[in-house]
Structure 1
Amino acid sequence: MTHSPSPLVIDGISKRYGDLTALDGMSFTVHPGEIYGFVGSNGAGKSTTMRIALGVISADSGEVRLGGRPLTESSRRRIGYMPEERGLYPKERVGAQLTYLARLHGVDKRPATSRTSELLEQLGLSDRANDQLESLSLGNQQRVQLAAALVHDPDVLVLDEPFSGLDPVAVNVMSDMLVERAGAGVPVLFSSHQLDLVQRLCHRVGIVAAGRMRAEGTVDELRDTGEDTYEVHVDASGDWWGDLSGVRRVGGDGTVSLFTVDPGSPTTDQDILRTALGAGPVHHFTRRRPDLSDLFQEVVKP
C-alpha cells in the first residue's frame, strides 16, 4: 500500500519531572519516505519524546503533529509503535495475537488475518504462527514485536531500540522491512545505540543530549562537520611534517602517523603526501572521514 505523505512533526516539546528536565524544546521533522535515526546516550530524552508522540505521557509544552494537524487519539492509531520494553503476550499464540492487535486498530477480521500471514512470511515465521510467543527465541520474539507494529499498515513507524539484542540475520531482516516501509512513503523514526546501523540506514540523523537536539542532518552533512584524519606510513625519522601549516600529529606508532589539519589551514591532503614523499618512501596514505560514532562522541561530550 502507498501511503499519503504526512510528515511527523515534533515541535518544541518540553517535559520536566520535578527538578529534572527530560526534554527542553525538542524539535524535528520526519518526512514521508524518510528513515530518521534518533540517537543519544541513555537518559538523553529519546524514549520520552517517543512516548509523548504516542500519547503515553503528556508534554508540558509544545506539540506533535501528523499531516499538519495535532495528533489525536484517532490519528495516533495510525502510528506503528515498537517500545523498548517489549509488550506482547508470552503465552498467546503468535498469529492470533497479531490478528487481535490489528483488530484493535480497526482492521476488519479478514484483512487482519491476511496481513498477519503476510508479515509472518516476510519475517520467516510462517511455521511459528500457532506457537506461543514464549517458545520462540529472543530474536524471533523481536521479529514478532516488529510485526505487531506493522500489522495495521500504519502511516508512521516509531521504533525504540528495535535492533537491540538481534543477531545479524535478524538485523538484516528488520532493516529490509524498515527500508520497504519508507519506500511506501511511511515516515520511519527509530532510536538506536548501534551507530553503524544508523549510518547505513538513515536518510537523516538527530543527535540528542540532555533533552535537546544537538546536531541534525544527513549522515554526509554530519560527517562533513568533523575532522578528517590522514594516515601516513613513511620511512622517515624526525618531524618531517613540521613545516606544514596547521598539521597536527594525533596518533600513530613508529613510521605510521595520524594527522589532522586545523580548520582554515591552507594545507591539503596533496601537500601532506608530497611532503611525505620528500621525506622517504611512502607505503600507505589514506584520508579517513569521521564516522557517526566519532561525531556522536564529540557532540555529546560535556
Structure 2
Amino acid sequence: MAEGSALTRDFPVTADLPMAGAGSRWLAGERWTPADPRRASTVMLVRDGSAGTEVFMLRRVSGMAFAPNTLVFPGGGCDVRDGDPDLPWAGPAPEEWARLLGCDSAVAQMYVAAAVREVFEETGVLLAGASADAPLADVSGAQWREVRRSLVDRELSLTGVLEEAGLVLRSDLLAVKAHWLTPEFEPRRFDTWFFAALMPAHQEADGDTSEADESAWVWPAETIVAFARGEAVMLPPTLVCLEEIAAAANAEDFIRHTEHLRLIMPTIVSTPDGPAMRISVS
C-alpha cells in the first residue's frame, strides 16, 4: 500500500463480523453523526519459525465493546501521558517519526509510545533497555506483572515505569507498516497506526491480558486460510497485514518502514454476493 500502488478489494460482511449490524443499517440508508476517532497503535510482533515468519496474535474476548471474538495484533488506544515530553527515549526522535506518520512530533510520540506500552501490557514484551545499545530489559519477574497491571489500570504511566527502572524506550525497534481508520458507521472508531517489531531474544510473549481469551504465535498463511473457511474472524486491516507478513522473505525483512503510507478507511458497499467492506487505494 505504498504511494503509487493501486488497490481495490471487497471483504464480505458476514453475520459473525462485529460490524455487520451497523454496516447493514448504514448501507440501507440510515445515517448518524460519525464518532470521533480515537488515536490507537497496534504492533505486529514477528519472528522466524520453521515454516516461515510467525506473528503473535490474540483473540479478543466476547465481551469487548469493539471487535469481540476477532483475531488481532496487540494494541490499543493512546494515553495522553504517552506524549509526556520527559519520556525516556532512544532511537529516531519524535520529529523523525512525525515525518513518517505525517503529523506533528507530539502526536507521533504518542503513537510510538502507545505501541511500546500496549505490546508490553498485552504480551509482556518490553521494547526498552538501559541505553540505545544495551540489551533489552529482563521483564520476567513477578514485579513486572504488577507493573503491567498498573499500566492497564492507568495507575502508572510509561514515563514513570521507564524512569523507575532506569530504561529508555527503543523507538529504533519499531517499523511503521500501515494506517487505517475505522469506517464512519462504527460506533467506536480508531485512527490506528500499525507497527512491526522483531520478537526480542530473552523475552517471552505470553498474551496475559484480560482482553483476550486465546493467544498464540501463528503462521499467517494458515490463519488466512482459516479466515477463508470461516474458522477465524478478522477485520480487513488485520487480514491485509497478515498477507504482507506472509509475503515477507523473513521476519527481519518485514521490519522495514513502509514510507508514504496513505490512510485507508473502508466503506460499506452492496455487491451481488451481499454487503462488503471496500478498501480503495490508488
TM-score using structure 2 length: 0.24
* TM-score, normalised by the number of residues in structure 1: 0.23
Q: Highest relative contact order (Cα 8 Å, sep 6+), 1 or 2?
A: 2
